[in-house]
Amino acid sequence: MSNLPSGNRDSFSSKFGVIAAAAGSAVGLGNIWRFPLVTTQNGGGAFLLLYIGFILFIGIPVMLSEFTIGRRAQLNVFGSFKKLAPGTPWYLVGFLGILTAFAILAFYSTVAGWTLEYLVQAISGKLLHTQDMEKNFADFSTHPYRPIIWQLVFMLLTAFVVYAGIKKGIEKFTKILMPVLLVLIIFVVIRSISLPGAGEGVKYLFVPDWSAVNFKTVLMALGQAAFSLSIGMGTLVTYGSYIRKDNNLLKTSAQVALADTSIAILSSLMVIPAIFAFSAGTIDQMSPGPGLVFEVLPNVFKSMPGGIIFSIIFFFLLSVAALTSTISVLEVVVAYLKEELKFSRGKATLIGSISISILGVLATMSFGPLADFQIFGYTIFGLLNYASANIMLTFGALLIVVFVGWRMRKIAFMEEISNKGQLVSVMFTIVFFIIRFIAPIAIGIIAVAALFMEGL
């Protein structure tokens, strides 16, 4: 095999470009919106510890497996499985990935649309003059068309970047803006933890309460880890196919996971202490819902000198972080339509984004006109949110490690991760053992126990 990706496929031009793009996919609403939410819904500290354990022992190995598959096959997720395991049903994993992309982007674009509304509210000054942040969020999210318009604007932005192509589109954005986001979050964390009463929130996050944990919370920690790292559906198979042969995949995986986990923990430190400071009660009393960060953070900005500026920059960067994630989800679908069904990039982008938007609008409407429409006790938004991370991604992750551990030739895996022997062999043995045994057994047990013992 040559040193560069074959033929006319696009590739990332630099090492930092790869990390920036993969981190751009990983860092997004999953860290800043979803992580503080599921952490507060699942008891705090113990959930955080489980989460970190899953990132290390399952997340990084699955990420490495995905990069390996993609770089080896040089194709989209569907084509990769077909190429590496010809004549077998393994390509169905690719199919599951594409379905998952639909489910995720549909509800993710709802929340991404909210960030645009909040950006506009921040710029107009309305946001920081609002007295009742909960009412403000409820009024907006239940509105019959405003959130839909923002969602569609967001989908349009996503489609535009995906249409512009990998190198020009994705790399350029992520390189500059993600570090700025990190710095801004640190500022907000400092303000949040210094609010009167915030100490209880810090304790809640760092002192584990194991009585709050059952199989379902364990599954949710695993699902959140998968969601946050963008693993389990082939996003990173697709990105892996654009990574040059000389990139050290294990190092890249560890760096991306570190960046992603740091931002998730910092986001919780930005949100949770502030909940305690402002609500002066327990988390349970406020029963956190999808509006959590949109209700809590504006109050933190209000209490900061220069809060308006902070709020504007924050919601701008949050929208960008969401965009670098949505493009990676749409890219899975577009790469498939383009390479397998031979559509042009333009047509693939158009068809992919329009069909996802249709489901997406229904998800957005589940806060307003469709609030009473429920399946298994979930709204459309709730079901997509729950099932995509905890069922589809975890199942996808399971199949991916089983594929790399048991189906792909060991030598192929070794070649991809060793970079011609640069990686010490003991490291290889450990990682391969995790991929073969630990990760699949752990995911299998958790998924089965949670679904059968606690129910959906």
Confirm or reject binding of residue 25 to ligand PHE (CB under 6 A). yes
Return the number of the residue (150 or 278) whose C-beta is nearest ligand PHE: 150
Cβ-based nearer residue to ligand PHE, 155 or 198: 155
Residue 44 lies near ligand PHE (rule: CB under 6 A): no
The two tokens of residue 90 are: 């393994």
Q: According to the binding rule CB under 6 A, does residue 221 interact with ligand PHE?
A: no
Distance of CA 91 to the CA centre of its chain: 23
Residue 145 Cβ, how far from ligand PHE at the closest point, in Å? 25
222 touching ligand PHE, by CB under 6 A? no
Q: Which of 12, 23, 31, 360 binds ligand PHE (CB under 6 A)?
A: 31
* Contact in structure between 283 and 275 (CB atoms under 8 Å): yes
Which residues, in sequence order, are CB contacts of 39 under 8 Å at separation 6+? 47, 48, 51, 205, 268, 272
Provide the greatest CA pair distance for the chain.
Answer: 63
Both tokens assigned to 97? 């990935």
Q: Which of residues 49-68 bind ligand PHE (CB under 6 A)?
A: none
Instruction: Candidates 227, 314, 336, 381: give the one binding ligand PHE (CB under 6 A).
Output: 227
Q: Which residue stretches of 280-402 are H helix? A: 283-286, 292-302, 307-339, 345-365, 380-387, 394-402
Piece of 132-140, 225-233, 290-298, 372-380 that binds ligand PHE (CB under 6 A): 225-233
Of the candidate residues 328, 349, 379, 385, the single one contacting ligand PHE (CB under 6 A): 328
# chain residues binding ligand PHE, by CB under 6 A: 15
The encoded tokens of residue 14 equal 């630099």
Shortest separation between residue 352's beta carbon and ligand PHE, angstroms = 14
* CA 16/CA 26 separation, integer angstroms: 15
24 contacts ligand PHE (rule: CB under 6 A): no
CB of 31 to ligand PHE, least distance (A): 5
User: Is 106 among the residues that bind ligand PHE (CB under 6 A)?
Assistant: no
Decide: helix, strand or coil at residue 375: strand
Strand, coil or helix: 378 = strand
Structure tokens at 87: 């004549």
- Other C-beta atoms lying within 10 Å of the C-beta of residue 101: 27
Least distance from ligand PHE to the Cβ atom of residue 228, Å: 5
Q: Give me the residues that bind ligand PHE (CB under 6 A), please.
A: 25-26, 28-31, 104, 227-228, 230, 233, 235, 325, 328-329
